Amino acid sequence: MTSETPYPALEVLDLTMDFGGLRALNAATLHVKGGEIVALIGPNGAGKTTFFNCITGLYHPTEGDIFICPPGKQRERINGLKINAVTERGLARTFQNIRLFQNMTVLENVMLARHCRSSSGILGAVLRNRKTRLEERDIVRTSFAILEKIGLADVVNLPAKNLPYGAQRRLEIARAMATEPFLLLLDEPAAGMNPQETRELEGLIRQIRDQEGISILLIEHDMKLVMSLCDRVTVLDYGQKIAEGTPREIRENPVVIKAYLGEDI
Ligand SMILES: Nc1ncnc2c1ncn2[C@@H]1O[C@H](COP(=O)(O)OP(=O)(O)OP(=O)(O)O)[C@@H](O)[C@H]1O
């Protein structure tokens, strides 16, 4: 479990994002404490992915503050940082649509993600000096260890495109893990999975939190998964936070039920 800090691992305050005349996020607030699994839910178009894009440096929010507090480190405001700088600080994400190098092997996909933690640089890669060679060996070893934990050790040499859908989603999580995050953001990890794959995914996410001490924020439409996996749930509607609470509180909240009217919660 992540060691306690006086601040949440992630604290987002009054986040607003305008796209021209469209306000996709309107003073949305959310926090994830160290070691928590939190869900961000809401009807289609509520602003969930925009929220992730702001946190991870893909978009620069119009207003608001984003603070992180990795275990054992100082609290830091990360607004305006570029994607790589956010990743270096220990935030990793997966995307709604699978983004793998389909013709590369499973191991190569993870190794590539791992390179963000290497220090040899381009010159080192060209000269292939001793430091680079040692580092490369370390990248292979670490990438393999991650794939073992994720349950993909027996397919390391297969091209990513040959994996079943559920395994491709797990590989995306392995790539995110390779950057050594303290906080993992998962954008609809169960999308397109069959019930068996979803059950396995639930076990994997729990394992990542319990064994690696990584805090997790996930966007998910599969309410059964959200209700059984998450410690807390935050609900967005039209870019605003309309509710926050335990899964049970959220399930019984009339404001949430109204927002989802016509959708299956
Ligand atoms: N780059 C962009 N430019 C203009 N509008 C955008 C952009 N990204 C998102 N939007 C708009 O912002 C609103 C929120 O979209 P967003 O994708 O964040 O919602 P969501 O809650 O993730 O939806 P879904 O559950 O369908 O994935 C939508 O109206 C969308 O059309």
Residue 246 CB partners (closer than 8 Å, separation 6+) = 231, 232, 233
Same domain for 14 and 82, yes or no, is: yes
> 47 CB less than 6 Å from ligand 1?
yes
> 21 CB less than 6 Å from ligand 1?
no
Same domain for 68 and 139, yes or no, is: no
pLDDT of 129 higher than 50:
yes
Q: How many CB atoms lie within 10 A of CB 143?
A: 25
Task: Indicate the burial class of 64 (C-beta count within 10 angstroms; 0-12, 13-18, 19 or more).
Answer: middle
Which range of residues forms the domain containing residue 250?
Answer: 1-90+181-265
> Is the ipTM of this structure higher than 0.90?
yes
Q: Please, are residues 31 and 8 in contact by the beta-carbon 8 Å criterion?
A: yes
Mean pLDDT for the chain? Answer: 91
Same domain for 188 and 259, yes or no, is: yes
For residues 240 and 15, give the distance between their C-alpha atoms in angstroms, rounded to a whole number.
9
Compute the average pLDDT of residues 34-60: 96
E-only strand ranges, the chain: 10-19, 22-32, 37-41, 63-68, 76-77, 91-93, 183-187, 215-219, 232-237, 240-245
- Structural domain includes residue 95: no
Which tens digit of pLDDT belongs to each residue from 187-234? 999 998 999 999 999 999 999 999 999 999 999 999 999 999 999 999
179, 194, 229: which is the final residue of a domain?
Answer: 179
State in Å: Cα 251 to ligand 1 middle.
Answer: 24
Same domain for 84 and 111, yes or no, is: no
For residues 108 and 115, give the distance between their C-alpha atoms in angstroms, rounded to a whole number.
11
> 42 CB less than 6 Å from ligand 1?
yes
123, 155, 179: which is the final residue of a domain?
Answer: 179
> 53 CB less than 6 Å from ligand 1?
no
pLDDT in the model for residue 2 = 47
Ligand 1 atom closest to the Cα of residue 239 is 14
pLDDT of 136 higher than 60:
yes
- Structural domain includes residue 235: yes
If one counts the domains in the chain, the total is 2
User: In testing the pocket of ligand 1, which one of 40, 48, 238 has its CB within 8 Å of the most ligand atoms?
Assistant: 48
The pTM assigned to this predicted structure is: 0.90
Nearest CA to ligand 1 atom 24: 44
Nearest CA to ligand 1 atom 23: 45
pLDDT of 1 higher than 50:
no
